């Protein structure tokens, strides 16, 4: 994988983390429920993605690329609109919100798995970073699933 392909892959993951951070922060602000510290969980997950984006941006610039803009993507806007519609219909029902979270977590985990599954991604430093980040994302997904089972 050449540098431009690495940069593009890392920028895609960084953009997904921007979207994830924004989505969880918006959920933490809009959700009315305090059940099981769901708001705090959303804030933690937002901060996690902010940190991941910063780590990815460091590698992007090291490879000669440009950091991603901290703006929402079209897909993020669509997903957040869907969460908002579902939340309004369900009066911020925690189960509905958590179902939407699981959907988003599956998207970002899938993107990481795709990059890590590329046999051309041989940069050990980048692979180590992505392995660390995907482990954190999978832990977050597990937490969402546990909370969803309890709610």
Q: What is the pLDDT of residue 53?
A: 97
Residues 6+ apart with CB under 8 A from 11: 56, 60, 65, 68
- CA dist., res. 42 & res. 46, Å (int): 6
Q: 81 vs 137, which has greater pLDDT? A: 137
Q: What is the pLDDT of residue 27?
A: 81
Q: What is the pLDDT of residue 25?
A: 87
Q: Which two tokens stand for residue 109?
A: 């985990």
- CA dist., res. 98 & res. 95, Å (int): 5
Phi, psi of 6 (to 5 degrees): -60, -45
User: What pTM value is reported for the model?
Assistant: 0.85
Mean pLDDT of 97-114: 90
- CA dist., res. 20 & res. 6, Å (int): 21
Give per-residue pLDDT as tens, 22-46: 888 888 877 765 565 788 899 999 9
Q: What is the pLDDT of residue 78?
A: 58
Q: What is the pLDDT of residue 89?
A: 46
Q: Is the pLDDT of residue 137 over 50?
A: yes
Is residue 10 within 8 Å of 60, Cβ to Cβ? yes
Q: What is the pLDDT of residue 23?
A: 85
What interhelical angle do 38-62 and 94-117 show, nearest 10? 20
Q: Is the pLDDT of residue 151 over 90?
A: no
Q: Is the pLDDT of residue 131 over 60?
A: yes
Q: Is the pLDDT of residue 139 over 90?
A: yes
Domains along the sequence of the chain with CATH: 3-150 (1.20.1260.10)
Give per-residue pLDDT as tens, 45-103: 999 999 999 999 999 999 999 998 776 555 556 556 656 655 554 556 677 778 888 98
Mean pLDDT of 131-143: 97
């Amino acid at each position: 994988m050449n540098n431009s392909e690495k940069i593009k892959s890392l920028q895609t993951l960084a953009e997904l983390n921007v979207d994830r951070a924004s989505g969880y922060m918006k959920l933490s602000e809009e959700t009315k429920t305090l059940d099981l510290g769901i708001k705090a969980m959303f804030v933690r997950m937002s901060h996690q993605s902010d940190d991941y984006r910063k780590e990815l941006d460091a590698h992007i610039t090291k490879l000669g690329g440009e950091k991603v803009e901290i703006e929402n993507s079209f897909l993020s806007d669509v997903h957040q609109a869907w969460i908002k519609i579902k939340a309004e219909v369900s009066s911020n029902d925690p189960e509905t919100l958590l179902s939407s979270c699981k959907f988003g977590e599956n998207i970002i985990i899938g993107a990481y798995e795709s990059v890590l599954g590329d046999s051309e991604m041989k940069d050990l430093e980048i692979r180590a970073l992505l392995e660390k980040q995907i482990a954190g994302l999978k832990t977050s997904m597990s937490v969402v699933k546990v909370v969803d089972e309890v709610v």
